[in-house]
Amino acid sequence: MAGVNLAETGRIAARLGFERCAVGFDWAAFVAHRQRYIDAIHAGYRERIDALGIDWVAAAGRFVDAGRIAAGDRTLEAPQIVVATGSRPQRPAFADGVGIDSDGFFALRQQPRRVAIVGNGYVAVELAGVLHALGSEVHLLIRGNRLLGSFDEEIARRLAGLYQADGIAIEAGFDTVGASMQEGEARIVAADGRELRTDTLIWAIGRRPDTRSLDLTAAGVACDAQGRIVVDDRQRTGVPGIHAVGDVTTAPALTPVAIAAGRALADRLFGGRPECRLDADDVPSVIFSHPPLGSVGLTEAAARERHGDAAVKVYSTAFRPMLTALAGGEARSFIKLVCVGEDERIVGLHVLGLGADELLQGFAVAVKMGARKADFDATIAIHPTSAEEIVLIE
């Protein structure tokens, strides 16, 4: 995302007279910088683990029974065991080695000229925005008729409109049933007979819990139909002493959620806080699309289903950010408030546009605290910002 922001800033700067800012993009050089950054993060974690005296075992773990883990040539025993193996990308059975997934994207050493991305979720949407902004021809193949099914429908459709206006081809109703390599090109086939040929094919059709090597049945740990470990609101499985956190469970698949769950678990088991638990209500999330889309709380549809149509009132506004207007752009940002009851308690906030990722965090606190529309109305705006539109919305 950082590379995309720099590229877009350069283009805007060029339109505003800073001609020298319109520079090319060296994919390989950026990948090298990214890898150095990642390596530094990994080194920092290893140093911290060593400093704390934690025993690091570089081997896949497998349950022997409910109290023992086999890892390499060792068998480890503990009264408390935590499973936090995350998730891995899914690939269709018919792919047979054709195309790459999101892991493969990070292994690319040169920029794809033409790319097809299969999927409509956050990974597909983010990769489409990144690759297009850096200059690739992008086709986004979606089985249904909309992006981001778990997000507010109106804001997701506005993002799709921005993508299409910017040149990303969104192929709706493209139910991919076949893929093959022919003469160095990927050939993708839909159920209705449509075909697409491209240089690079990326599968972004979802993720599944990474429990391949764990042998959960040996410990008696139950999973749901999607293979996710079933836990309660305190990360406990049905087996005493075995816990699970993160994407391997049914919790929202977000890194901060996993971190919060792990902290609550540690506080409960070892910090003298037996009632500590993860509160998964009103979790803010951002799609790092181009521009970013942020959401906290209920969608309009969910609010109407939960509280009834009569109790729900929606406020929305669309506007051109100042920088976009200065550069002669037409793309509009969009903000939507979903309120409930006579006191108009804000139960959902959805933002699409420049800075959505940064401004949402502060407003998420207000939503979590139960803010009312009147509280936003009483807050003085900071001008000129996009965030001011949230407290000025009528």
* Residues belonging to the active site: 383
Length of the chain: 394
Q: Quick check: 50 and 160 in contact, CB under 8 A?
A: no
Alpha helices in 167-290 (DSSP H): 216-219, 255-270
Rg (CA), the chain: 23
Q: How many helices, marked H, and strands, marked E, lie in the chain?
A: 12, 19
Q: Kind of pairing, strands 114-118 and 200-203?
A: parallel
**φ, ψ (nearest 5 deg) of residue 23:** -110, 165
Cis peptide before 256 (omega within 30 of 0): no
Angstrom distances, CA of residue 271 to CA of 231, 275, 276: 21, 11, 9
Quick one: CA torsion of 315, 317, 321, 327, rounded to 10 degrees?
A: 170
What percent of the residues of the chain are helix, what percent strand, and what percent coil, each to the nearest 5? 35, 25, 40
Residue 361's CB is within 10 A of a number of other CB atoms, namely 12
Q: Distance between CA atoms of 335 and 372, rounded to whole angstroms?
A: 16
> Among 139, 137, 116, 90, which residue's Cα sits nearest to residue 200?
116
List the structure tokens of 35: 């890898």
| Longest Cα–Cα distance in the chain | 67
3-state SS, 52-116, equals: CCCCCCCCCEEEEECCEEEECCEEEECCCEEECCCEEECCCHHHCCCCECHHHHHHCCCCCCEEE
